[in-house]
Amino acid sequence: MSHVTCIEDLRRLARKRVPRMFYDYVDGGSWTESTYRANECDLQRLEFRQRVACDITHRSLDSTMAGQSVSMPVAIAPTGLTGMQYADGEILAAQAAKRAGIPFTLSTMSICSIEAVANATGHHPFWFQLYVTRDRRFSEDLIERARAARCSALMVTMDLQVFGQRHKDRKNGLSVPPRLTPKHLLDLACKPRWCLGMLGTRHRQFGNIVGHARGVDDIRSLVAWTQEQFDPTLSWADVEWIKQRWGGPLIVKGIQHPDDAHLAVESGADAVVVSNHGGRQLDGAASSITTLPEIVEAVGATTEIHFDSGIRSGQDALRALALGARGVYIGRAMLYGLGALGEAGVTRALDIIRDELDLSMAFCGRTDVQAVDRDILRPLLRPVAGTW
């Protein structure tokens, strides 16, 4: 694996090995993809201040996220269809995260179920991401299943009441769940490694839904259920209800406005995730990194701030930490590793992020990641609104 030295190497390899409709599902945003691109570009615009003649012999990336000790302030983000990037994808990613000493977050829209991931990891605590459905009884059942699986935190995603218009998915004919056409079958024929993996697993449907949601017993009923269950009436009262029902650490994801950050805290959030869903929802919205400072200013003294959307390196992670995030999430970077090399690829992605974070912190003259602050960054010559 010596030829894989950065996340971009994993992305290129994943593109060769993952069927196009599933690769494009990961590597794309909504509408013109301007927000998707801005997430990466605006992070890279932030320049470091290098320091010299500092004793950087002993360095630590140890930290905490949502009250949990972590080996570095990085968590694996919840991502749908992970098990379609590579067979048993959620299980493999959870196992890699366990060995790395960081949190893994399982999506409601995962292929492997809560129970399958728990059993495969020896009931090692992981986090569960909840999409609130119109069927509140099903949402309640998901919370109880997460509790039974010993999940140590619950994440509520707030920015998917409706789906963003994703042109790549439409052109590829990707549906939820996926339906194969002759074009797709031809593509699959060129991906024998992927096909062999899928033939060897029983995890090919949405494991948290099929056999659990009322009336969902097969592909046809799942299609109808998925189309009607995302709830446009989702409100902060629902977050309060979830907090009361769950009782444990609650993370609210999808925050882009200071007022929403305040409302999340008032509703019981123990942490909020500054996120624009990786540029997959509202195109034309600000990049996550440009909104991070104002969210930190609004609620950073009262709750924990996490960050996602655009992290492709340890340097990106360091930039977000410098602007006030307690921890960051990687989604696409993990999925590129998974699609490229399975569990070994996820491990490689995490090692790359860790090494880049550690070395960049050292170049900035810091030895403790928890002491990183804005002083390691140079002010922008042309400030982005809300950044400084």
Single out the catalytic residue among 184, 203, 277, 306. 277
Alpha carbon of 89 to those of 203, 298, 343, 387: distances in Å? 9, 37, 8, 36
Bridge partner residues of 253 (DSSP): 157, 273
Cβ(297)–Cβ(325) below 8 Å: no
Sheet holding 250-255, edge to edge: 74-76, 327-330, 304-307, 271-274, 250-255, 153-157, 127-130, 105-107
**Nearest residue to 47 via CA among 385, 378, 384:** 378
**Nearest residue to 209 via CA among 223, 198, 197, 191:** 223
Q: Which DSSP letter does residue 87 get?
A: T
DSSP secondary structure of 295-342: HHHHHTTTSEEEE-SS--SHHHHHHHHHTT-SEEEESHHHHHHHHHHT
Q: Using alpha carbons only, how large is the chain's radius of gyration in Å?
A: 20
Give CA–CA dist 7/305, Å, rounded: 25
Bridge partner residues of 106 (DSSP): 128
Cβ(108)–Cβ(142) below 8 Å: yes
Answer yes or no: 262 catalytic. no
Bridge partner residues of 76 (DSSP): 104, 330
In single-letter form, the type of residue at position 337 comes to G
- Active-site annotation, residues: 277
